[in-house]
């Protein structure tokens, strides 16, 4: 019986493995150090966890392999074939900069150098008419040049191919004849949308990553099969779903940012279990904090994202805001004499001062040790913390320069860190038109539960949810997703002049393609769900908002009204008299897979005793004698009031004074934060 579900989230420091038994809903975890080859770490973790892969019915994987390849530029030699005269589109970009006023900071170089961006004569106009057919002699000459150069992948990006991909398809055929076995990405297949830089950039990233992720998934799949796994390997993508290796070779860029999406998915699911359809995910790790938002049970999705500034990847992605604030973030003083926190981090080496591995600058972890919020060990005793080293780092770098008492200095470090995290939450909520008071905060990651209540109090968020295993919650997210693909097609028209029948016909084309792809991945028709949206804007603008579209679509008026309402919520105004335009049609195709169901526990009425007590400094001032509980001892239904500390293998939960906490039937700790 294949009753086990396994999810693996590979990070830069740790590989997290989450194992669920379908029959009981019980979860166990394994956390090991990541290896140079992520596959070795995965298989080592599977072995340590005692997993019999022959009994695994689903193996889901969130990976940083694509993200790291882009960041480190460890990419195979990739070429680009463009319309003559347009080889520099991806280098000109939008002529903008990440740091507008920094004269000396340039945008990083393109993923494909100019010498490998070749051109051919061809041209299609904006209506899709072929003005200049592809010059096949020149095309074949270019293909042979690339063959001699030994390129590993090719991106084909022609002007206006989004409306007619005929010339791109012919170019691909010629390349396949001259470069057999080499992956070819065409912009008309990867992203058939207007705006040439975004389309070209996404296609280039897709081509460059294709050899990397295809090799990785093939090797991992072979290792899993060799050890007894018989099903498809499922890979988490940024859109919040999974894809099989059959789709990875054509849409490799969807795996960029894979790991970040898992946490957002898990936080939304956990909040829904607790009865909150509106939730904010606060994932605090060692170096960064990832913030996501779900409204009315749906995660916010964006197409405006990138791994490196200037090179957008326009596939739909769950919106996650990342800042440099985590357990290892350094406290430092700027030139004006103000205390700052992050984004610099102690990292794994040398690590926080309290680790005793050479670090001397104070981190958030050191400050929490000084305040007594962290004990003397982490990870179930695998990491020993030295309070004396933490105190020395805080005293030298903050207390003495600012003339503060030691604990006041540590509290100042944490306050600055919490303010940074609260600002990130404001950006993804208030700046988007959402009131944080209408949300629950899901605090996870190794340090999320340490800071969650303080961040919630800063923003008047009424409840904080701490999952049973905060440190591996992202891995759990890999067990909660469906096979999902996103399709889009440019549709430029004024709403007042638009025939709904034309929109319906275009949607039907997208749906036919979606059904074919999901069928190729073995999804039965009855398990397919199709969701339509239309990107719209006020005419004269170019930034758009996505509004749901009914199936079938019989009237454009309801789309226009939905757009006005969305614009009101997002920007706090609407212009009913202003003409509205349609920009793009989007289709989300979901192949439903059986979800992991967490075990439910009945209240026992037991009142566990604290394992110890210790003095803890909270925001109010002096030390407070605080009970310390062991998380595995807390039964469903147990209620307690702050102050309290709850320790477990992968995290520490801080329940500050003035709050109450309850363990629900799924063993989440729900902290109620008073105004």
Distance of CA 579 to the CA centre of its chain: 35
Assigned domain for 601 exists: no
- For residue 280, pLDDT over 90 is answered with yes
- Tell me whether residue 55 is in a domain: yes
The domain that holds 419 is classified in CATH as: 3.30.420
Q: Is the pLDDT assigned to residue 259 strictly greater than 80?
A: no
Average pLDDT, integer, range 444-472: 93
Q: Assess whether pLDDT exceeds 60 at residue 675.
A: no
Distance of CA 333 to the CA centre of its chain: 31
CB atoms within 10 A of CB 81: 27
- Average pLDDT of the residues in 647-675: 91
Alpha-carbon distances, residue 272 vs 47, 53, 267, 279, 449 (angstroms): 33, 31, 9, 8, 19
Q: How far apart are CA 91 and CA 70, in angstroms?
A: 16
Q: If we measure between CA atoms, which residue out of 265, 273, 241 comes closest to residue 599?
A: 273
Residue 377 sits in the same domain as residue 455: yes
Residue 582 sits at φ, ψ, to 5 deg, of -95, 140
CATH code: domain of residue 500:
3.30.1490
Under a CB-based contact definition with an 8 Å cutoff, are residues 596 and 5 in contact? Answer: yes
Name which of 11-25, 335-349, 438-452 the model is least confident about. Answer: 11-25
Residue 422 has pLDDT above 80, yes or no: yes
Q: Which two tokens stand for residue 374?
A: 């962290």
**Band of the pLDDT at 1, cuts 50, 70, 90?**
low
Query: Per-residue pLDDT for 347 more than 80?
Result: no
Eight-class DSSP state of 23: T
Residue 592 has pLDDT above 90, yes or no: no
Same domain assignment for residues 353 and 447:
yes
Residue 270: pLDDT band (50, 70, 90) is very high
pLDDT tens digits along 98-139: 888 888 888 889 999 999 999 999 999 988 999 999 999 999
Is 583 strand, coil or helix? strand
**Does 379 score more than 70 pLDDT?**
no
> What are the tens digits of pLDDT across the range 495-539?
998 899 999 999 999 999 899 888 877 788 888 999 999 999 999
CATH number, domain with residue 218 = 3.30.420.40
Tell me, what's the pLDDT at 380? 67
Residue 438 domain-assigned?
yes
| Mean pLDDT value across residues 431-442 | 93
Q: What is the pLDDT of residues 311-331, one digit of tens each?
A: 999 888 888 888 888 888 899
What is the pLDDT, as a whole number, of residue 12? Answer: 62
Please state, in angstroms and as integers, the Cα–Cα distance from residue 556 to each residue in 491, 536, 552, 584, 654, following that order. Answer: 13, 11, 11, 14, 51
- Burial class, 207, CB count within 10 angstroms (exposed 0-12 / middle 13-18 / buried 19+): buried
Does 282 share its domain with 308?
A: yes
d(CA 83, CA 123): 7
Q: In whole angstroms, what is the distance from residue 241 CA to residue 477 CA?
A: 10
Q: Residue 66: which residues within 8 A CB-CB, separation 6 or more?
A: 209, 212, 213, 252, 253, 255, 256, 257, 258
The Cα 277–Cα 270 span in angstroms is 10
Residue of 259 and 418 predicted with greater confidence: 418
- The tens digit of pLDDT for each residue in 207-225 reads 999 999 999 999 999 999 9
| One domain for residues 272 and 399 | yes
Token digits of residue 400: 């003495």
Give the residue with greater pLDDT, 48 vs 138. 138
Are 289 and 430 within one domain? yes
Distance (Å, rounded) from C-alpha 203 to C-alpha 156? Answer: 8
Query: Do 243 and 136 share a structural domain?
Result: no
pLDDT greater at residue 652 or residue 259: 652
8-state DSSP, 642? S
Q: What pLDDT shows up at residue 485? A: 84
Pair (463, 326) in one structural domain: yes
| SS3 category, 426 | helix
pLDDT for residue 363 is more than 90: yes
d(CA 487, CA 510): 7
| Domain stop point among 255, 271, 287 | 255
pTM of the model: 0.81
Find tokens 């507008």 and name the residue: 100
Residue 190: how many CB atoms within 10 A of its CB?
26
**What sign has the CA pseudo-torsion 297, 303, 304, 308?**
positive
CA 447 to chain centre: 18
Instruction: Indicate if 446 and 578 belong to the same structural domain.
Output: no
Tally of structural domains, the chain: 5
342 three-class SS: strand
For position 381, what pLDDT does the model report? 66
* Domain final position from 465, 481, 497: 481
Q: What percent of the chain has pLDDT over 90?
A: 56
Q: What's the chain's average pLDDT?
A: 90
Q: Which residues pair with 281 in a beta bridge?
A: 292, 442
The CATH number of the domain holding residue 79 is: 3.40.50
End-to-end CA distance of the chain: 51
Which of 205, 201, 210 is CA-nearest to residue 245?
Answer: 210
> Does 604 reside within a domain?
no
| Residue 229 region by backbone torsions, left for phi larger than 0, else alpha for psi between -120 and 50, else beta | beta
**Confidence (pLDDT) at 547:** 92
Residue the block writes with tokens 């208030």: 430
Q: How far apart are CA 638 and CA 667, in angstroms?
A: 10
Determine the pLDDT at residue 606: 87
Pair of tokens at residue 172: 């691909």
Q: Residues 204, 329: one domain? A: no
**Mean pLDDT over residues 254-283, rounded?**
89
278 in Cβ contact with 292 (< 8 Å): no
Other CB atoms within 10 Å distance of the CB of residue 595? 12
Q: Are 265 and 339 within one domain?
A: yes
In degrees, rounded to 5, the angle at the alpha carbon of residue 12 between the alpha carbons of residues 11 and 17 is: 30
561 CB burial (10 A radius; 0-12, 13-18, 19+): middle
| pLDDT score of 14 more than 90 | no
Q: Does residue 272 lie within any of the structural domains?
A: yes
* Beta pairing partners, 302: 317
For the chain, give the longest Cα–Cα distance: 82
Residue 596 lies in a domain: no
Specify the DSSP class assigned to residue 221. Answer: H
Q: What phi and psi, each to the nearest 5 degrees, are found at residue 497?
A: -105, 5
Domain boundaries, position 372: 261-481
pLDDT of residue 15 exceeding 90, the answer is: no
The Cα–Cα gap between 624 and 116 comes to: 65
At residue 596, does pLDDT exceed 70? no
- Rounded to whole angstroms, the Cα distance separating 408 from 344 reads 22
Mean pLDDT for 618-624 is 81
- Flag whether 93 is in a domain: yes
Specify which residues 32 forms β-bridges with. 15
Cis preceding linkage at 350, omega within 30? yes
514 and 562 fall within a common domain = yes
Q: pLDDT (tens digit, 9 = 90+) per residue, 191-212? A: 988 889 999 999 999 999 999 9
Same domain, 438 and 382: yes
d(CA 367, CA 390): 7
Residue 581 lies in a domain: yes
13 pLDDT more than 70? no
Higher pLDDT, 345 or 610: 610
Q: In what order do the strands lie in the sheet with 56-62?
A: 27-33, 14-21, 4-10, 56-62, 233-236, 242-243, 483-494, 580-591, 528-538, 545-548
Instruction: Answer yes or no: are the C-beta atoms of 53 and 43 closer than 8 Å.
Output: no
Candidate from 44-53, 451-460, 480-489 with smallest mean pLDDT: 480-489
The band of 152, judged by pLDDT with boundaries at 50, 70 and 90, is very high
């Amino acid at each position: 019986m294949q009753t086990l579900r396994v999810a693996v989230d590979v990070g830069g420091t740790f590989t997290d493995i989450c194992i669920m038994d379908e029959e009981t809903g019980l979860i166990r975890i394994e956390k090991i150090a990541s290896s140079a080859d992520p596959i070795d770490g995965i298989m080592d973790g599977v072995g340590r966890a005692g997993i019999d892969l022959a009994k695994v019915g689903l193996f889901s994987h969130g990976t940083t392999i694509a993200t790291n390849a882009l960041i480190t530029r460890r990419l195979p030699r990739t070429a680009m074939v463009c319309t003559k005269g347009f080889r520099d589109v991806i280098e000109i970009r939008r002529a903008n900069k990440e740091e507008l006023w920094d004269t000396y900071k340039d945008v990083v170089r393109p993923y494909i150098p100019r010498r490998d961006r070749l051109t051919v004569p061809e041209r299609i106009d904006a209506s899709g008419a072929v003005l200049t057919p592809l010059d096949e002699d020149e095309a074949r000459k270019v293909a042979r040049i690339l063959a001699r150069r030994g390129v590993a992948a090719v991106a084909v990006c022609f002007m206006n191919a989004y409306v007619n991909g005929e010339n791109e398809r012919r170019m691909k055929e010629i390349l396949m004849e001259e470069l057999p076995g080499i992956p070819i990405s065409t912009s008309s297949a990867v992203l058939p949308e207007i705006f040439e830089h975004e389309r070209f950039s996404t296609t280039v990233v897709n081509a460059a990553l294709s050899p990397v992720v295809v090799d990785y998934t093939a090797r991992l799949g072979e290792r899993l099969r060799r050890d007894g796994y018989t099903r498809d390997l499922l890979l988490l993508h940024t859109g919040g779903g999974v894809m099989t290796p059959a789709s990875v070779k054509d849409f490799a860029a969807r795996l960029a940012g894979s790991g970040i999406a898992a946490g957002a998915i898990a936080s939304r699911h956990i909040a829904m279990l607790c009865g909150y359809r509106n939730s904010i995910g606060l994932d605090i790790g060692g170096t960064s904090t990832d913030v996501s938002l779900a409204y009315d049970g749906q995660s916010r999705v964006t197409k405006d994202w990138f791994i490196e500034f200037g090179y957008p990847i326009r596939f739909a992605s769950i919106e996650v805001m990342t800042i440099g604030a985590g357990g290892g973030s350094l406290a430092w003083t700027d030139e004006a004499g103000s205390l700052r926190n992050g984004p610099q981090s102690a990292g794994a080496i040398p690590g926080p001062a309290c680790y005793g591995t050479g670090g001397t600058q104070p981190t958030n972890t050191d400050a929490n040790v000084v305040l007594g919020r962290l004990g003397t060990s982490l990870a179930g005793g695998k990491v020993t913390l030295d309070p004396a080293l933490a105190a020395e780092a805080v005293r030298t770098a903050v207390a003495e320069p600012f003339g503060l008492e030691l604990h006041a200095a540590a509290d100042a470090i944490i306050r600055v860190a919490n303010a940074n995290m609260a600002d990130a939450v404001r950006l993804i909520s208030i700046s988007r038109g959402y009131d944080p008071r209408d949300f629950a905060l899901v605090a996870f990651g190794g340090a999320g539960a340490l800071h969650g209540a303080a961040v919630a109090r800063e923003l008047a968020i009424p409840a904080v949810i701490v999952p049973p295993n905060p440190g591996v919650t992202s891995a759990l997210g890999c067990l909660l997703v469906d096979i999902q693909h996103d399709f889009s097609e440019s549709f430029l028209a004024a709403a007042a002049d638009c025939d709904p029948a034309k929109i319906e016909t275009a949607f039907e084309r997208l749906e036919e393609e979606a059904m074919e792809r999901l069928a190729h991945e073995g999804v039965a028709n009855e398990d397919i769900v199709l969701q339509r949206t239309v990107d719209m804007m006020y005419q004269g603008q170019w930034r758009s908002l996505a509004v749901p579209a009914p199936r079938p679509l019989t009237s454009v008026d309801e789309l226009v009204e939905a757009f006005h309402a969305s614009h009101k919520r997002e920007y706090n105004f609407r212009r009913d008299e202003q003409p509205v335009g349609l920009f793009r049609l989007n289709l989300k195709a979901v192949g439903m897979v059986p979800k992991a169901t967490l075990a439910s526990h009945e209240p026992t009425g037991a009142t566990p005793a604290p394992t110890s007590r210790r003095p803890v400094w909270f925001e109010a001032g002096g030390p407070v004698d605080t009970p310390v509980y062991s998380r595995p001892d807390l039964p469903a239904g147990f209620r307690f009031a702050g102050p309290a500390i709850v320790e477990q293998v992968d995290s520490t939960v801080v329940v500050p004074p003035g709050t109450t906490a309850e363990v629900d039937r799924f063993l989440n700790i729900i902290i109620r934060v008073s105004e």
